[in-house]
């Protein structure tokens, strides 16, 4: 690596920095514009950072900002000589700067600051890469985290006039009216479920929880299949428990209505092969992408899904399952780690404007209840899942606990939390041998 790269003068624009400060000394409105865009640390020259902070301090105290008050403020802070004395303040005040151009100047300062931050981050990563004994995987995780922090610090959301929000809302309502459909999001493929949820909506975090053997993986694969095949929506599936080959076998079993055991053993008759061939075509053409990296972190998912969205588009993310994920950093407890994962998944859904369906385990406490029906209190390891999720759903099969139940091959989908809609239950047919869920009405036809 060329060491000269580390010895260059960092990106900076001292004229823009002085222009920002001069504008702030000219007019109070320029101060309010500047503090929305930049912070003291964004200035390259320390003297400029100190002056910027002093101007903010004066403004917060309700005092005017001019040569006299600014000089006195810096003197009280024992910073006057550090910045070059009264003479330098006068020099800055006489810089070419206008309140009308403050946004332009502030943007230049911010952009140079961002470049310096990226250089420091990249240099840190490169330096660690040369360290003997550095673990590549740990360095990769840290590198992704550091770059993510730079990106997140850059994103600032401002106040928006309610009239603009109303205008955008009305436009969306008009589009929905033209659709003439109650499904305003991405269809799940299940009519009764869509009737309650109106589909999966952008930025939603959906938690699907169940005890083992309830069919939660099959349920979410069915949803992913429908999105990819019927809706032609790109889907990213992150499987932390099963290999991609196992997932594909399950999807083929569901689509071809072939017993899983036949597919696993390869003992199929001609009719089965015909059904399998008919299922392979649509599935192979579907925009479904599978990643089976064990212990994947939210940062890794973010990097992969951002790339996928940019290259192919993205309409749905499925994660199987949440408790097998890694937060990418040390936590005091597993509960705290799950809370962080949950919070970051919700943030990712908002950033990508894509619904995320994350599968979750339930605690064994549900087995101690009389009717075995799960509730929000049974979410494993973290109450944050309930807090962060827009929808929390449980899968419950009475037949599993009571073989004499009259609800054979029926799964109840319990919507226990719905931030923007009703809660309640939907019954679906569950054909375990085919790993397939279906509307009861369709099965009766």
Q: How many angstroms separate the CA atoms of 292 and 320, rounded? A: 9
pLDDT, residue 398, reads 81
Q: How many angstroms separate the CA atoms of 27 and 16, rounded? A: 17
The model's pTM is 0.65
Annotated catalytic residue 134? no
Out of 82-91, 179-188, 230-239, which region has the weakest mean confidence (pLDDT)?
179-188
Q: 295 — alpha (psi -120 to 50), left (phi > 0) or beta?
A: left
Residue with tokens 């230049």: 108
What is the helix (H) or strand (E) element at residue 52, kind and residue range?
helix 46-60
Q: How many angstroms separate the CA atoms of 412 and 424, rounded? A: 10
Angle between helices 28-37 and 14-26 (to 10 degrees): 140
Buried b or exposed e, range 235-267, using 16+ CB within 10 angstroms: bbbbbbebeeeebbbbbbbbbbebbbebbeeee
Confidence of residue 3 (pLDDT cuts 50, 70, 90): low
pLDDT, residue 343, reads 85
Which residues lie below 8 Å from residue 133, measured CB to CB, with a gap of 6+? none
Which runs of consecutive H residues, i.e. helices, occur in 353-427?
Answer: 384-388, 398-401
pLDDT at residue 22 tops 70: yes
Contact 384, 427 (CB under 8 A): no
Which residues lie below 8 Å from residue 345, measured CB to CB, with a gap of 6+? 205, 298, 319, 322, 356, 358, 388
DSSP letters spanning 216-243: HHHHHHHHHHIIIIIS---EEEEESSS-
Confidence of residue 1 (pLDDT cuts 50, 70, 90): very low
Confidence of residue 138 (pLDDT cuts 50, 70, 90): confident
Which among 27, 77, 231, 241 is annotated as catalytic? 241
> Which of 201, 236, 394, 413 is closest to 318 using CA atoms?
236
Q: Span 264-283, mean pLDDT?
A: 82
Q: How many angstroms separate the CA atoms of 240 and 320, rounded? A: 6
Confidence of residue 223 (pLDDT cuts 50, 70, 90): very high
Task: Locate the domains of the chain by residue range.
Answer: 3-154, 184-444
In this structure, the dihedral spanned by the alpha carbons of residues 283, 190, 370 and 407, taken in order and rounded to 10 degrees, is -90
Residue with tokens 């436009």: 171
Task: Give the highest mean pLDDT range of 11-15, 282-286, 293-297, 342-346.
Answer: 11-15
Distances (CA, A) of 312 to 232, 289, 351, 426: 12, 10, 17, 33
What are 251's two structure tokens?
Answer: 């999807």
Contact 362, 207 (CB under 8 A): no
Confidence of residue 17 (pLDDT cuts 50, 70, 90): very high
Q: How many angstroms separate the CA atoms of 362 and 186, rounded? A: 26
pLDDT, residue 80, reads 92
| Tens of pLDDT, residues 374-400 | 877 777 656 677 778 899 998 888 877
Out of 151-160, 237-246, 260-269, 358-367, which region has the weakest mean confidence (pLDDT)?
151-160
Contact 253, 264 (CB under 8 A): no
What are 206's two structure tokens?
Answer: 């959906």
Q: How many angstroms separate the CA atoms of 437 and 190, rounded? A: 9
Distances (CA, A) of 306 to 40, 301, 359: 31, 8, 21
Residue with tokens 């369906």: 357
Residue with tokens 């936590």: 331
Q: Specify the higher pLDDT residue, 332 or 262.
A: 262
Q: What topology does CATH give the domain 3-154?
A: DNAb Helicase; Chain A (1.10.860)
pLDDT at residue 216 tops 70: yes
The hierarchical CATH code for the domain 184-444 is 3.40.50.300
DSSP letters spanning 275-325: HHHHHHHHHHHS-EEEE--TT-BHHHHHHHHHHHHHHT---EEEEE-GGG-
Q: 411 — alpha (psi -120 to 50), left (phi > 0) or beta?
A: beta
What are 422's two structure tokens?
Answer: 């009703």
> Which of 364, 396, 390, 395 is closest to 377 using CA atoms?
364
pLDDT at residue 38 tops 90: no
Confidence of residue 74 (pLDDT cuts 50, 70, 90): very high
């Amino acid at each position: 690596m060329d060491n000269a790269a580390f010895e260059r003068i960092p990106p900076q624009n001292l004229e823009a920095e002085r222009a920002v400060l001069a504008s702030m000394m000219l007019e109070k409105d320029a101060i309010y514009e500047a503090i929305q865009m930049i912070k003291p640390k964004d200035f390259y020259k320390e003297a400029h950072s100190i002056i910027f902070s002093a101007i903010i301090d004066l403004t917060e105290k309700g005092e005017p900002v001019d040569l006299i008050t600014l000089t006195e403020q810096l003197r009280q802070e024992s910073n006057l000589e550090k910045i070059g004395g009264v003479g330098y303040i006068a020099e800055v005040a006489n810089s070419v700067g206008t309140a009308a151009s403050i946004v332009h100047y502030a943007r230049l300062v911010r952009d140079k600051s961002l470049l310096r931050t990226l250089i420091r981050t990249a240099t840190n990563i490169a330096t660690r890469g040369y360290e003997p004994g550095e673990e590549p995987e740990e360095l990769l995780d840290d590198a992704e985290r550091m770059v993510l922090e730079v990106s997140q610090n850059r994103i600032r959301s401002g106040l928006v006039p309610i009239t603009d929000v109303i205008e955008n809302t009305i436009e969306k309502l008009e589009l929905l009216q033209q659709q003439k459909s109650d499904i305003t999001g991405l269809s799940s493929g299940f009519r009764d479920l869509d009737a309650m949820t109106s589909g999966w909506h952008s930025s939603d975090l959906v938690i699907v929880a169940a005890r083992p053997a309830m069919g939660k993986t099959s349920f979410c694969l069915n949803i992913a299949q429908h999105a990819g095949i019927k809706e032609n929506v790109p889907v990213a599936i992150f499987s932390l428990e099963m290999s991609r080959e196992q997932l594909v076998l399950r999807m083929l079993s569901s689509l071809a209505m072939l017993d899983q055991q036949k597919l696993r053993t390869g003992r199929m008759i001609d009719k089965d092969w015909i059904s399998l061939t008919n299922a392979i075509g649509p599935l192979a053409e579907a925009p479904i992408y599978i990643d089976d990296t064990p212990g994947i972190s939210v940062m890794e998912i973010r990097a992969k899904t951002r790339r996928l969205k940019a290259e192919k588009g993205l309409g749905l993310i499925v994660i199987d399952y949440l408790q097998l994920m890694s937060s990418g950093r040390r936590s005091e407890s597993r509960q705290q780690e799950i809370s962080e994962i949950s919070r970051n998944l919700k943030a990712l859904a908002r950033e990508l404007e894509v619904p995320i369906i994350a599968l979750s385990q339930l605690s064994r406490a549900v087995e101690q209840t009389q009717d075995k029906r799960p509730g929000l209190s049974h979410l494993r390891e973290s109450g944050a899942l309930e807090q962060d999720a827009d929808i929390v759903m449980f899968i419950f099969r009475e037949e599993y606990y009571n073989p004499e139940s009259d609800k054979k091959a029926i799964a109840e989908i319990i919507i226990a939390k719905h931030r923007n809609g009703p809660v309640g239950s939907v019954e679906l047919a569950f054909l375990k041998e085919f790993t397939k869920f279906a509307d009861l009405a369709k099965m009766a036809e």
